Chain A
């Protein structure tokens, strides 16, 4: 076991996959000489050279299109979004070409590529650097969407994403790069489509992902003392959802709270509520509750920013309310 920070876990995953398969390459802004804005690609340029760790000009749509073309012709690109929000400029290439081209071409081409980088609300970075693109991209067919949340799952999931034959949007979180875990010395790979049961419990199913997982576990520590027993599930896969794991849990708890960092309108939780009510309505003893970010551009001011995203205390209160509403 080796104690490893999340950014290093991501680097190890990339390094191991690049060593294993010489068609894997990284491209993006400042991934080479500079080592990546969060140091995920540090040292890889020196090891693999300028083609396999390609420093691109600041041209998101075009370098994303380059990755699509390279993937169609047999390479396995990993795009690093310097900040995932910048990939709004690549929306067309990611949606039309990464997402839909395989279908539109009637299966002529496959597009094995990973688009990864820091997302989420950081600390006072302002609205543009605090995007949650997982919600914006959720409707695009053909994409898999994954969010890692610990150093351990970051490594295993990124390796799986690189080996996947499909385009995978892989969200890291700006505030989680320094989390650490003891990682196994031996290689491991985690499935992209499996949710992680973070805490077993019987009172209520808490569905969450990325940084909010840690808010939920923090809330659970308080709740435990008060005699509550929530089950916390980290979705991991935001598209498709692991409905098996969700079903198992809801059958047991009959209550669902969703805790997410994206905005409420058109968010990940919106789709989850719809699926839960379509598939598990009979299991529910209470309406599904959503705790989401406010539907506003993220403000710069620290206090306003804190009010914009969900805080652990709100999770505690929501769980009280939902669990206490026993019928």
Chain B
């Protein structure tokens, strides 16, 4: 096991959060967790197929960033590990589950699957299955906001785009090319690297000469933050700063969230390379338990309230499965639909 990085200090006395916000964050993270647990169950029961990449352990990143955005106005772009980003962005659990079941009611009409969640309604730019290819597309959405503001003089065009990807993707040229262009043109975009230490079986430190990814921002003359990705309040704090900067036209930010996936790379991964010690270390930092503790210590909630949320979310997830089960398959007569804009 490679020595763990020390997470940056986060001044907890500065936290300003209401009970409602605390519960909202908690519910979003629990939804992510229970949804993914249900996916594992359904995959092993033969209800969903293909490569399914779960997000367990990383919930604080999705929730901390996406729930700080303006829902349905700001943009979110993801990778193949996209179910939970979709949920945080507001895509109903029913539609995400139905997509995993390949049903016509799925958010991508059963054409996309686990790695291709899309929703124009919720400004979810997608699920991209090739590592790093979503980065330029997200930059395009950010360029569009800038274009409307600067070239078309639309003062309402202050949307922010968030772009999620992994430590492995940060070694790809598209990452560097886009940092350069975003900083050059001061685009309203936030790059969120979810550094979970592994790219399938490639340990991050074996793949990169400078493992501290946030430092790469400085080369492009742009802001870079390192944050404890297991602490939703810390993530939310840096996200809010980055969002404010982007909205104000001050340009892009790179956030490196130090996190960990609690399951294998995908449900097909035997997960043999990661040490038990490493897994235990990170399991002890479970972001959902941490938020529960924080909210309780701050005197904002009592355990019954959290329990009630967990029950409510479990019902949502169960309902999503029922909806997906009962939804129709796509119509075979529509096999060729959606190739072109007119279909």
Residues on A lying within 8 angstroms of B by beta carbon are 22, 25, 49, 51-52, 56-57, 59, 61-75, 92-93, 96-97, 101-112, 141-142, 165-166
Interface string of B51-95 (1 = CB under 8 A from A): 000000000000000000000000101000000000000000000
- Of B75, B112, B143, B184, most buried by chain A (CB within 10 Å of CB) is B143
Give Cα A66–Cα B181 distance, bound, in whole angstroms.
Answer: 10
Residues of B within 8 A of A141 (CB): 339
The answer to whether the Cβ of B126 comes within 8 Å of any Cβ in the partner chain is: yes
Give every chain A residue within 8 A of B266 (Cβ-Cβ): none
Bound Cα distance from A102 to B151, whole angstroms? 27
For chain B, the count of residues having a C-beta within 8 Å of the partner chain is 49
State whether A102 touches B341 (Cβ < 8 A): yes
Asked if A51 contacts B141 (CB within 8 A), the reply is: no
CB distance from A58 to the nearest CB of B (A): 9
- The answer to the question of B136 belonging to the interface, with a C-beta cut-off of 8 Å to chain A, is yes
**A73 to B140, Cβ gap below 8 A?**
yes
> CA separation between A22 and B148, bound complex, in Å?
10
Stretch among B31-39, B170-178, B267-275, B311-319 lining the A interface: B170-178
Q: Are A70 and B144 closer than 8 Å at their CB atoms? A: yes
Give chain A nearest CB distance to B141 CB in angstroms: 5
Closest residue of A by beta carbon distance from B150: A51
The 3 closest A-B pairs by CB, nearest first: A69-B140, A65-B136, A106-B109
Q: In the complex, what's the smallest C-beta–C-beta distance from B13 to chain A, in angstroms?
A: 40
Indicate which residue in B77, B110, B130, B180 contacts A106 across the interface (CB closer than 8 Å). Answer: B110
- When the two chains form their complex, are residues B180 and A59 in contact, meaning their CB atoms are under 8 A apart? yes
Task: Please determine whether A103 and B136 come into contact, CB atoms closer than 8 angstroms.
Answer: no
B143 cross-chain contacts in A, Cβ below 8 A: 66, 69-70
Interface contact B339-A68, CB-CB below 8 Å? no
Known: A69-B140, A92-B133, A106-B110. 7 other contacts (CB 8 A): A62-B178, A63-B136, A66-B178, A72-B125, A74-B144, A103-B339, A107-B109
B70 to chain A, nearest CB (A): 15
Q: What are 15 A-B pairs with beta-carbon distances under 8 A?
A: A59-B173, A65-B135, A65-B137, A68-B136, A69-B136, A69-B142, A69-B143, A70-B143, A70-B144, A72-B141, A93-B136, A101-B126, A102-B340, A104-B126, A106-B107
Question: In the assembled complex, how far is the CB of residue B329 from the closest CB belonging to chain A, in whole angstroms?
Answer: 13
Residue pair A65, B147 in contact (C-beta under 8 Å): no
Residue B280 interfacial (CB < 8 Å): no
Minimal Cβ-Cβ distance residue in A for B117: A105
A112 and B144 CA atoms in complex are apart in Å by 14
